[in-house]
Amino acid sequence: MGGWIKKQLILLIGIGIAALGIYIGAKSGVDYKDFQIIGSRNLIWILAQTMLLFAAFILAVPVFVLIIEVAGYIKKDERLDKLAKDFARLLPVSYSITAVLGGLFTLATYTLFPKFMNYMTGVFKPTYIVFVVLIFLESTAVYIYWTTWDRLGGQKKLQHIVIGLILNILGTLVMMTANIWGSFHLSPAGVDAAGKLLSLKDAIFNFTFWPINIHRFIANVSFGGFICASYAAYKYLSAITPEERAHYDWMGYTGTFIGVVTMIFLPFAGYYFGMEIYSFNAQMGITFMGGALSKIWLLQAIVIAVIYLGICYYLWLGLDRIPGSEKYKKYVPYLSWTMIFAFAVWATPRAWVASLEDMAGGMHPIFGTVGIMAPKIAAVNVAILGVILTFLLNRRAGRIIPDGRKVYVYIQWIIILLIVAVNLVVLYYSYIVPSATRIKLSIYTFLFMVPAIALIYLFDGLLLKGAQRVGEIRWGNMAPRSQYALIIVAVSNVWAMALLGYGRAAARLNWHIYGVLEDTSKYAGLPSLGDATLVISGITLLFLTLIGLVFKITGEGGREGAR
């Protein structure tokens, strides 16, 4: 009980700071206040994004900790349980940091933007109360989940799993409650033109509420996987004994696997989000995709390229620790160049910097054909296929395929070729059909790809069932550069999250709440993309410093686990 009170104290401090902010905001009597040196907008931006990154992390980790724990329970594998515990170890300190950041963020927004935030209180007061109750319950669930890990083992494991499930439900509800406010800023509903609340239900279930829920949930799990993988990489690099190295090598692989599997679903969630934005307001859709913010997507393509290639690079190097993988390594250069080409297509802009010297007017025939959406969707799918094949190589390497199963390999090849063929056909039609049809085609292609990929893995399972290995995987025998690749992937992931967070907020242009409450402060205009990326990089550094702190604080306990 004493421990619980101690843990809740930090949360209570966070809530206290937030309540103070709401009180100051209500009494303020002005519309805006400025913040010295970095300005009020930048302060809010940095606090909000850093808090969101932590919030993403603490939502994600319990999701896959529970999955690994359940897998360990079903397979009766102690190692999996230890791994899940090692991931969960990162949770308590992260929760405390999130609570403090949340409190500071609320204090800052209510103090510096009282008009806007008082309006939000007026509309959403009931959801605020629900939110506080939920985070209190969630924090309690984390405390119980973590402290009962060993006590509720063995016969009582099922009870522990139930606590994990409750924790996950609470975490998801907390995220959804916060998404009510964010999605309302972007696509308000349930209020009249003057901003008077007509229906709280409509305000909650606005156009982008569900797309943001889905997109964030998937992105958060992916992000959590990569951050945990970078934690494992850090531990791997600082490991002393071969056993520790083997444990953290495996942990890094698992984290990466979780990150990739969930990341594959992100484009689909993104298309759905985009479609809902267009449905809410076509003007906002154009601003987002083709207008002022279109260059964000270029940057996103580069960052995603770094993430995908970083993951694959790690996995390609990982083949070295699998005895008998030599015959598969020769395919790797082809795979890497195909993926590089796909990413170059994805990152090709629609228009470019125009200089007199080039006399191209910022345009080039290549932009008109490669710079538009049609080939990019095919390119993304090719890149996804590259990652899938890389994972297949990792599974296949070093296994002796039993006689008579060659047919499964042929079936897999047929499915892969079918995916390529479908993408080529869609690519061709994407150029000649109207945009609306093209967007639908991209969604159908994706819906085709998911079961196709699942089938590839199903046949892989049949192919490799009971297959002998040439030798055991030499966990812990990875070149250090592979671990740096994992760290680069995590850094790029943080940067990508912060970039797209900016994009979503910037789509509102000069509105606090789009079309309802205008931003009349001196920060109403958008910053230049260059300035924005500086702040984004600053946020990335801040987050990495804080998460580094979490790694450091929890590190010693983890070492014991590995031993």
Binding-site ranges for other proteins (CB under 8 A) = 278, 281-283, 286-287, 290-292, 294-295, 305, 309, 313, 316-317, 329, 332-333, 336-337, 340, 343-344, 347, 349-369, 371-372, 374, 431, 434-436, 479, 481
Nearer to other proteins, 25 or 285 (CB): 285
Q: b or e along 119-147 (b: 16 or more beta carbons within 10 Å of the residue's beta carbon)?
A: bbeebbeebbeebeebbebbbbbbbbbbe
Least distance between other proteins and beta carbon 363 (Å): 5
Nearer to other proteins, 167 or 293 (CB): 293
Of 128, 121, 124, 125, the C-alpha closest to 26 is 121
Nearer to other proteins, 153 or 324 (CB): 324
SS (H, E, C) 510-528: CEEECCCEECCCCCCCCCC
Nearer to other proteins, 7 or 508 (CB): 508
Of 45, 30, 206, 14, the C-alpha closest to 537 is 45
Whose tokens are 């797209």? That residue is 500
Nearer to other proteins, 357 or 403 (CB): 357
Least distance between other proteins and beta carbon 349 (Å): 8
Asked if 87 and 259 count as a contact pair (C-beta separation under 8 A), the reply is no
- Rounded to the nearest 10°, the torsion over CA 332, 333, 335, 338 is 170
Query: What is 279-311 written as a DSSP string?
Result: HH-HHHHHHHHTSTTHHHHHHHHHHHHHHHHHH
Least distance between other proteins and beta carbon 278 (Å): 7
Least distance between other proteins and beta carbon 509 (Å): 8
Asked if 112 and 26 count as a contact pair (C-beta separation under 8 A), the reply is no
DSSP structural state of residue 123: H
Asked if 90 and 234 count as a contact pair (C-beta separation under 8 A), the reply is no
Token pair for 296: 């964000």
Phi/psi region, residue 324 (left: phi>0; alpha: psi -120 to 50; beta: rest), is left
Q: Report the half-sphere exposure of 120 (CA within 13 A, side-chain side).
A: 21
DSSP structural state of residue 319: G
Nearer to other proteins, 214 or 351 (CB): 351
Nearer to other proteins, 12 or 340 (CB): 340
Q: Is 367 exposed, middle or buried (0-12, 13-18, 19+ CB in 10 A)?
A: middle
Least distance between other proteins and beta carbon 438 (Å): 9
Least distance between other proteins and beta carbon 452 (Å): 27
Nearer to other proteins, 166 or 317 (CB): 317
Token pair for 7: 């843990």
Nearer to other proteins, 118 or 294 (CB): 294
Nearer to other proteins, 102 or 310 (CB): 310
Least distance between other proteins and beta carbon 511 (Å): 13
Q: N- to C-terminal Cα distance for the chain?
A: 30
Whose tokens are 């924090």? That residue is 139
Least distance between other proteins and beta carbon 314 (Å): 11
Q: What single letter denotes the amino acid at residue 376?
A: K
Nearer to other proteins, 317 or 409 (CB): 317
Least distance between other proteins and beta carbon 435 (Å): 4
Least distance between other proteins and beta carbon 546 (Å): 29
DSSP structural state of residue 183: H
Least distance between other proteins and beta carbon 439 (Å): 10
Q: What single letter denotes the amino acid at residue 75?
A: K
